[in-house]
């Protein structure tokens, strides 16, 4: 009889004693109680998954509540597939920077070197969405402008400026374009401001996805798989969910009074409604035309944990290096002009997090002044979140990474990110 091999260790198994990692077990348990009482019992969130790692090991892992309800009811679990929306942005940014490491472009290269239609960009001057005037930018948009969201681009869903209306009118939020044709349509619209002069959260990272295609000569999804997902073992991260994994896709919810995202007719007075059940009708159940590097990925808590561990390890995980140490260090510096924070860069706050004391790097927010943030954090901590209230942060000072996943839009509905900061850091011994 052939001897039985020992079972492989569970890659998501927490350590037996989190005190060995400098975390208080009682205070970690308090985090789960807080989430349950504040967010699950009240019906604010359908479910919530939380992973806290330190010194390369998992100190805390919890799954609470439901991933879906009704006919597809099921609990949040390690393999639940979550729409990570803008948590796609750091992945796309690092993928492009891997090409920078090969000397294939410079950060101050004009975008028009790779996308010729961007040579003719104009800047909004005055008027309305129906009739407006433009002027020439002070300089061309660079690749660094895209990485830092100082490009002058915007998002149609913002709804704060006539240019946002032009995006919606052009169908840039529809997801019905291939990446190449979408970028060409974008190039026909005016910028909010001259590149490099202000900060505006935007579709810039989707343009980075197109740059990945142009520079590498590969389709964007294949390029991400080769550069990021396969080396890191992120086996469940991608732009759509096939039939074999369909039962693992969580439902997505929204607060009707707060969300501009697809609220069903007649649901305006509800506390929480389903906007994507994750069933056969979900847009995530078929391969999309538009491969959105800014917000199109689906992932699991285990996969994103592997991404954050690579970041903490300065570009390497399990012997596989996906990007250089110095590139990670450079990308997570504050790149805003004059070392300013987001509060000084001109855009109103659009989420529940503060801009004071927070800079921006090449695809990540970066803490530059912890006291100004008025939230427990460390200098140099970097992060980002997603529209459905997902979150992550990486703290090199404490050698700590946190990933939190749920599915509720918009992310500004509740201050879960600030609350988790206080709870997690209070657990450090």
Q: Look up the CATH number of the domain holding residue 131.
A: 3.40.710.10
- Can you list the alpha helix ranges (DSSP code H) found in 332-397? 370-373
Whether 22 and 397 have beta carbons less than 8 Å apart is answered as no
Give residue for tokens 């790149």: 335
Q: Measured between alpha carbons, how far is 308 from 383 in angstroms, rounded to an integer?
A: 10
237: region left, alpha or beta (phi > 0 left; psi from -120 to 50 alpha) = beta
Parent domain of 164 = 94-221
- CB neighbourhood size of 154 (10 A): 27
What is the number of structural domains in the chain? Answer: 1
Could you tell me if residue 243 is inside a domain? no
Could you tell me if residue 101 is inside a domain? yes
Tens digit of pLDDT at every position of the chain (429 positions) = 333 444 445 778 999 999 999 999 999 999 999 999 999 999 999 999 999 999 999 999 999 999 998 878 799 999 999 999 999 999 999 999 999 999 999 999 999 999 999 999 999 999 998 889 999 999 999 999 999 999 999 998 877 899 999 999 998 987 789 999 999 999 999 999 999 999 999 999 999 999 999 999 999 999 999 999 999 999 999 999 999 999 999 999 999 877 666 666 555 556 789 999 999 999 999 999 999 999 999 999 999 999 999 999 999 999 999 999 999 999 999 999 999 999 998 766 666 677 899 999 999 999 999 999 999 999 999 999 999 999 999 999 999 999 999 999 999 999 999 999 999 999 999
Whether 137 and 191 have beta carbons less than 8 Å apart is answered as yes
Please give the helix or strand (H or E) that residue 223 lies within, else none.
Answer: helix 220-224
Could you tell me if residue 227 is inside a domain? no
Could you tell me if residue 197 is inside a domain? yes
Could you tell me if residue 198 is inside a domain? yes
Could you tell me if residue 273 is inside a domain? no
Tokens of 384: 């980002």
Could you tell me if residue 355 is inside a domain? no
Task: Give the CA distances from residue 75 to residues 61, 195, 276, 368, 406, in Å, rounded to whole numbers and listed in that order.
Answer: 15, 45, 17, 38, 12
In this structure, what DSSP letter does residue 113 have?
Answer: G
Could you tell me if residue 248 is inside a domain? no
């Amino acid at each position: 009889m052939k001897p039985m091999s020992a079972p492989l260790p569970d890659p998501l198994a927490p350590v037996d004693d989190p005190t060995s990692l400098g975390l208080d077990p009682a205070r970690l348990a308090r985090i789960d109680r807080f989430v349950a009482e504040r967010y699950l019992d009240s019906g604010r969130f359908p479910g919530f998954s939380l992973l806290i790692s330190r010194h390369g090991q998992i100190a805390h892992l919890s799954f609470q509540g439901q991933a879906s309800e009704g006919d597809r009811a099921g609990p949040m679990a390690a393999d639940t597939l979550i729409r990570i929306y803008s948590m796609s942005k750091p992945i796309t940014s690092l993928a492009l920077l891997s090409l920078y490491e090969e000397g294939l472009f410079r950060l101050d290269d004009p975008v028009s070197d790779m996308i010729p239609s961007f040579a003719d960009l104009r800047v909004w001057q005055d008027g309305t969405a129906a009739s407006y005037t433009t002027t020439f930018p002070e300089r061309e948009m660079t690749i660094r402008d895209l990485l830092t969201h100082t490009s002058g681009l915007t998002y149609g869903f913002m709804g704060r400026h006539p240019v946002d209306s032009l995006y919606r009118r052009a169908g840039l939020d529809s997801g019905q374009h291939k990446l190449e044709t979408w970028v060409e349509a974008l190039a026909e619209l005016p910028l909010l401001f001259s590149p490099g002069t202000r900060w505006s959260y935007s579709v810039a990272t989707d343009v980075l996805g197109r740059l990945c295609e142009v520079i590498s000569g590969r389709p964007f999804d294949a390029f991400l798989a080769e550069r990021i997902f396969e080396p890191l073992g992120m086996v469940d991260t991608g732009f759509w969910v096939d039939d074999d994994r369909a039962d693992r896709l969580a439902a997505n919810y929204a607060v009707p009074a707060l969300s501009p995202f697809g609220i069903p007719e007649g649901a305006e007075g509800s506390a929480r409604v389903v906007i994507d059940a994750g069933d056969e009708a979900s847009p995530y159940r078929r391969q999309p035309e538009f491969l959105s590097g800014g917000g199109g990925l689906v992932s699991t808590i285990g996969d994103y944990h592997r991404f954050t561990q690579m970041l903490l390890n300065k570009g390497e995980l399990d012997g596989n290096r996906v990007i250089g140490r110095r590139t990670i260090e450079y990308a997570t510096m504050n790149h805003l002009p004059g070392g300013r924070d987001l509060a000084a860069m001109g855009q109103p706050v659009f989420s529940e997090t503060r801009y004071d004391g927070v800079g921006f790097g090449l695809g990540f927010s970066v803490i530059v002044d912890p006291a100004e943030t008025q939230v427990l954090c460390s200098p140099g901590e970097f992060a980002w979140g997603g529209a459905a209230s997902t979150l992550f942060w990486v703290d090199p000072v404490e050698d700590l990474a946190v990933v939190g996943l749920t599915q509720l839009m918009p992310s500004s509905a509740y201050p879960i990110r600030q609350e988790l900061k206080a709870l997690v850091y209070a657990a450090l011994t």
